[in-house]
């Protein structure tokens, strides 16, 4: 087992990132650590590349959680919320490790916190038309977005998308709630707070979103329903 990791403090969110397109040796090593359910899930991917990326995502997730928990990767127990959010049930009493995983193309990112729910999203920047055809913006956000110069729109779109998805993943609902459940001031770039959550400014004040731009080509965000934390990049 690799070196033990000290869990995040109550005011930190640890963020890890890794590359999902790895060689056969790594895939074999990760495969050994997956649960029966995870192995079965790999059969649902039509393309080998997606299967391998899933194995590399779950495999490294288990490695890292195991290092926080002092367990071998295969012994980390993962269960699911009603809308599919994975959570860890292996933590010893008094040491609740929360996590959330995201991947976009060959990039994976993991957020780890101690005792509070967290959400993370990474998005490779691509043509906006190639995105899922859901309404991302509220009426007010849409007006702000349309008034922006074309040159800014792509970066703002993916930054906004990542913020909203990170928030919905912190809640654990994912897109069972609409993206405009969380509304932002689009003129604010980087770390931010929502303007409204479900139309409620009071609820919005409980949230904080940390910017996680991995590169100009990859936007990202980390979200939690508390304000007294910051991102610690672990690699």
Ligand X SMILES: CC(C)(COP(=O)(O)OP(=O)(O)OC[C@H]1O[C@@H](n2cnc3c(N)ncnc32)[C@H](O)[C@@H]1OP(=O)(O)O)[C@@H](O)C(=O)NCCC(=O)NCCS
* Least distance in angstroms from the C-beta of 226 to ligand X: 17
For residues 185 and 17, give the distance between their C-alpha atoms in angstroms, rounded to a whole number: 28
Which of 14, 30, 55, 57 is the binder for ligand X (CB under 6 A)? 57
Place of tokens 């391998």: 52
Place of tokens 């965000």: 221
130-148 burial: b if 16+ Cβ within 10 Å, else e: eeeeeebbbeebeebbeee
Closest CA to 174 of 124, 107, 223, 110: 223
Query: What are the angstrom distances between the C-alpha of 171 and each of 37, 52, 89, 201, 213?
Result: 24, 28, 18, 17, 21
Which of 85, 163, 164, 181 is the binder for ligand X (CB under 6 A)? 85
* Least distance in angstroms from the C-beta of 149 to ligand X: 28
For residue 104, give the H/E element and its range: strand 97-104
Residue whose CB is less far from ligand X, 120 or 186: 120
> Does residue number 105 form part of the binding site for ligand X (CB under 6 A)?
no
Which of 140, 175, 203, 214 is the binder for ligand X (CB under 6 A)? 175
- Identify residues 134-173 at the interface with ligand X (CB under 6 A): 165, 169, 172
Residue whose CB is less far from ligand X, 144 or 225: 225
- Identify residues 177-216 at the interface with ligand X (CB under 6 A): none
CA-based end-to-end distance of the chain: 19
Residue whose CB is less far from ligand X, 106 or 148: 106
The phi and psi torsions of 97 (rounded to 5 degrees) equal -90, 120
For residues 57 and 159, give the distance between their C-alpha atoms in angstroms, rounded to a whole number: 23
> Does residue number 86 form part of the binding site for ligand X (CB under 6 A)?
yes
Residue whose CB is less far from ligand X, 84 or 198: 84
> Does residue number 176 form part of the binding site for ligand X (CB under 6 A)?
yes
Q: Which stretch binds ligand X (CB under 6 A): 18-26, 28-36, 53-61, 64-72?
A: 53-61
> Does residue number 31 form part of the binding site for ligand X (CB under 6 A)?
no
**Chain contacts with ligand X (rule: CB under 6 A):** 54, 57-58, 83-86, 100-103, 121, 165, 169, 172, 174-176
């Amino acid at each position: 087992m690799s070196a033990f990791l000290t869990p995040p403090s109550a005011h930190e969110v640890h963020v890890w990132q890794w590359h999902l397109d790895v060689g056969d040796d790594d895939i074999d090593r990760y495969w050994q650590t997956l649960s029966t359910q995870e192995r079965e899930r790999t059969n649902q991917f039509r393309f080998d590349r997606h299967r391998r990326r899933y194995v590399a995502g779950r495999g490294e997730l288990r490695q890292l959680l195991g290092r926080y928990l002092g367990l071998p990767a295969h012994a980390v127990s993962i269960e699911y919320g009603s809308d599919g959010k994975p959570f860890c049930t292996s933590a010893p009493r008094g040491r609740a490790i929360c996590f959330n995983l995201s991947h976009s193309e060959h990039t994976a990112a993991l957020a780890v916190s101690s005792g509070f729910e967290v959400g993370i999203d990474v998005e490779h920047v691509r043509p906006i038309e190639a995105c899922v055809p859901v309404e991302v913006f509220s009426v007010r956000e849409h007006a702000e977005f349309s008034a922006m110069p074309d040159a800014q729109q792509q970066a703002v779109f993916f930054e906004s998308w990542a913020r909203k998805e990170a928030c919905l993943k912190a809640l654990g609902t994912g897109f069972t709630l609409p993206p405009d459940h969380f509304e932002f001031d689009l003129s604010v770039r980087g770390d931010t707070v929502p303007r409204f959550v479900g139309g409620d400014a009071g609820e919005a004040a409980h949230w904080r979103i940390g910017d996680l731009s991995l590169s100009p080509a990859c936007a990202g965000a980390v979200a939690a329903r508390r304000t007294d934390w910051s991102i610690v990049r672990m690699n």
